[in-house]
Structures are given as structure tokens and as C-alpha cells.
Amino acid sequence: MRRLPSLNALRAFEAAARHGSFTAAAGELNVSQAAVSRMVRLLEERLGFALFERRANALELTDRGRALQPGLTGAFDMIADSVERVTAMRGGPVLTVGVGATFAVRWLIPRLSGFHAGHPDVEVRIATGGAGMPIRDDWTCAVLLGDGHWPGYEAEPLFTAAMLPVCAPALARSLRRPEDLLSITLLSVSHWADDWPHWFAAAGLAPSASKGLSFGSYAMALQAALDGVGVALGAQPYVVDDVAAGRLVTPFPLAVPMGRAWYLVSRPARHADPGFAAFRAWLRGIAAAEPGPSV
């Protein structure tokens, strides 16, 4: 008979150890930070020793915590793989891709028919969340925007997040020089408030004093640009299809890298999944062929 501690407590510890944060672990497990802290504390009481050294602004594993975490991570990976294999018995391989909603709608989904045509046996599931979403254990992989640092995961760069102004064709006719943007309605995204100042600095201009409009996501800002409300900074590859179709225009060609990129993020344990291998090869080929900067 197995005498195991609470599996919920083990999951809480493993997630906190992998992320180095109770808060990030809480986001992954969809519980409160206090709940994660409580479960880890109960696990420590059950084991009779501390797993973390709790400092004012840091969470560090003890020697015993470092010894415990790799085995748990491997065990939970094996459980997730077993569940996915059983699920896949209904048909072919199952591929679950975690991705931001804007990237999914504006880039990935329009291209998925090409992947499906080449791999009709792979069942593709798209899971979405915000830009800072945690990576779920039931995902095969994720395509995320960031700096390439996801502890415990392998991150393969796809393309940079270069930004350039985009707007509706009618509005573009009034824009002859970058200085004209200083008197136009600028559309920004609340969680990337430095994007426009960064672009203006690269163009040799002082930031616009115009208040403009701020949105909660790139999807909303780009829709406003399509509707002629103002000029947005379009992240490649969010705008590549609209520009190619003439729905959006790039009045000035200056594309400024913003210090982040899209990455294919996965755990090494997932690399043997047949759906992942096919998706990885397809995604790398598509990314290399896209117009705009690659990494």
C-alpha cells in the first residue's frame, strides 16, 4: 500500500519549485497564493523538514527541496503523457497548443489548415490565455511572447516582435512624414505602454503628447486601426496578413525590435510526442518563410 502525502500538496510544491514563486504556482494551478503556501506548509509538516527558505523577496529551495523536485516534475510529466496517450486512443495523436488569444486569431489559426492538410491524423486543440499566462501541464507545447526564459522548459525562438505603425489606407494618405504621427490619434496597448515611446526614439522624435486611446489587448488596438480610429503599432506577425491584403497600410517602414520574441516553449519530455514533432517542423518552416525579422 502506497503511503503518499497529499497529491495536491505535492503538485503545489512542484509548481512553486519550478517557478520559484508561490504566486506563479497559484496561477498555474488556478488557486490562490495563500492556498499554495498552505499546502506546501502542510507538506513540510508531513515530511518533517523544510522544502523552501522563505526570504523577504525570494523563495529558495533547501537541499531536500532540490532533491525532491526533479522526481516530482518527471512523475507529473509521465502522468500527463499517460492521460494524453489514453485520450489519443480515440484516434490519432492529440496536440494541445497554448497560445495568446491575439496570436491565435491573427496568425496561427489562419495557417492551421496547412498543418491539417499535411497531418490529418493529428487532433489539434488550441488553448488560449493572456500574455503572462502560466504553462499548463496538459499542454503539449506553447507559442509565447517573452524573453526566452521559462525555467524548466525549452524555448526555441521563432521570430522577433518588431513593431511598426499601421493604419487604414484612408488615414495613411494624410501621413507623409513620421512627424505627422505627433498630431494623430495613437492606439496603444495598456500592458506595453512603452512601445510608442520606443518607436519614436528609434525614429529620432520626442514621444507624442497626444493622449490617444489605450486598449487591453493588441487585438482590440488593431481592430480600431482597421476601423480608421487611429494608428496602432503592429507587432509582426500580428499584421502581416492584413498588410498583404491591403486592409492595413504601413505608412513608415521603420520596424523596431522591442526586446522580446515569440518562442515555441515545451518540456523535453514532450518531444517524443508524434504530434509535437510534426507541429514543430511545420511551425519552424512557416516562421522561416514569413516576411519580417526572424531570430
All residue ranges of the chain with pLDDT < 70 are 1, 85, 87-92, 129-134, 208-211, 291-295
Q: Would you say the CATH fold of 163-245 matches that of 94-158+260-289?
A: yes
pLDDT tens track for 184-224 = 999 998 888 888 998 999 999 887 656 689 998 888 999 99
| Cis peptide, bond prior to residue 274, ω within 30 of zero | no
Fold of 94-158+260-289: D-Maltodextrin-Binding Protein; domain 2 (3.40.190)
**Distance in angstroms (rounded) separating the CA atoms of residues 133 and 31:** 14
pLDDT tens track for 93-128 = 888 999 988 889 889 999 999 999 999 989 899 988
CATH class of 163-245: alpha beta
> Which residues have a Cβ under 8 Å from the Cβ of 20 and sit 6 or more positions away?
58, 59, 60, 151
Handedness of CA 195, 292, 225, 109 (dihedral sign): negative
pLDDT of residue 208: 64
Domain ranges for the chain:
7-86, 94-158+260-289, 163-245
- What's the number of CA atoms in the CB half-sphere (13 Å) around residue 264? 20
Residue 81, classed as helix, strand or coil, is: helix
Q: Which CATH architecture has domain 7-86?
A: Orthogonal Bundle (1.10)
